Amino acid sequence: MPLSPESTRRIRAIAARYPHGQSALIPALYVAQGEQGSLSDDTLAEIAGLLGMTPVDVKAIASFYTMFYRQPGGKFVFQVCGTLSCALCGAEELIRHMEEKLGIRAGQSTPDGRFKLEVVECLGACGSGPVMLLGDRYHHNLTPELVDSIIDELKTAPLPDGLPAPQVESAGKPER
């Protein structure tokens, strides 16, 4: 599905703030994913055209970062840190608890498409593990009870339109 005219406009406006289109790639990927939920090859090729890049270069970046989804997933994505600091604080047990609560394994989405559970590398909050990123918000010092309350609240929450796109609409052009 092609990008909407509004998303195309936003990507062009973001790119105009930088000397090279490549510098606008991460925010452009957020805009596209926010609209479409995931990044198809066609979408990546369209972004490449807008930024003057090759589709291969855009795909390499989109595939590298865990915050970009190449396949449709859950509307609410739980990214739980699975590295050593969080593991020592109970992340492995927490992940198993979440798998049981959601009825899925890590890397899967619930059948209704509402939730996805991912185990990711360091989220940079080693002093307050276990840590989870949900959308654009960190949740620290997690316990099974705290995770249960988050999941229960999200079961009845309105579904988001798309994924968050942090810092893509900042004011003005960067100074040089």
CATH code for the domain in which residue 27 is found: 1.10.10.1590
- Say if residue 30 is in the same domain as residue 93: no
Residues 87 and 152 in one domain: yes
Q: Of 137, 158, 168, which Cα lies nearest the Cα of 7?
A: 168
Task: Check whether residue 99 and residue 55 sit in a common domain.
Answer: no
Q: Let me know whether 10 and 82 are in one domain.
A: no
SS3 at position 81: strand
Report the SS3 class of residue 78: strand
What pLDDT score does 27 carry?
A: 94
Note whether residue 69 is domain-resident. no
Report the pLDDT averaged over residues 103-130. Answer: 91
What is the pLDDT averaged over residues 136-148?
Answer: 93
53 HSE (CA, 13 A, CB side)? 23
Q: Is the pLDDT of residue 92 over 50?
A: yes
Same-domain check for residues 92 and 134: yes
pLDDT at 167 > cutoff 50: no
Answer yes or no: do 80 and 118 share one domain: yes
Least confident of 5-9, 58-62, 73-77, 112-116: 73-77
| Separation between Cα atoms, residue 169 and residue 176, nearest integer Å | 19
Both structure tokens of 167 = 């810092």
Tokens representing 72?
A: 């449709």
> Is 146 inside any structural domain?
yes
> In this structure, are strands 137-139 and 76-81 parallel, antiparallel, or unpaired?
unpaired
The residue segments making up the domain with residue 46 are: 5-64
* Assigned domain for 71 exists: no
Contact at 8 Å (CB) between 121 and 83?
Answer: yes
3-state secondary structure of 139: strand
Residues 29, 90, single domain; the answer is: no
What DSSP string runs through 109-137? B-TTSSEEEEEES--S-GGG-S-EEETTE
Whether 164 maps to a domain, the answer reads no
Closest CA to 106 of 87, 124, 114, 96: 96
The tally of domains found in the chain comes to 2
Q: Within this chain, do residues 60 and 108 fall inside the same structural domain, yes or no?
A: no
pLDDT in tens, 31-52: 998 888 889 999 999 999 999 9
40: left (phi over 0), alpha (psi -120 to 50) or beta: beta
pTM over 0.75: no
Residue 93's CATH number? 3.40.30.10
Residue 33 in any domain: the answer is yes
17 Cβ contact partners less than 8 Å away, ≥ 6 residues apart: 24, 172, 173, 174
Question: Which tokens sit at 103?
Answer: 């009825």
Confidence category of residue 71, pLDDT binned at 50, 70, 90: confident
Residue that finishes a domain, picked among 41, 64, 87? 64
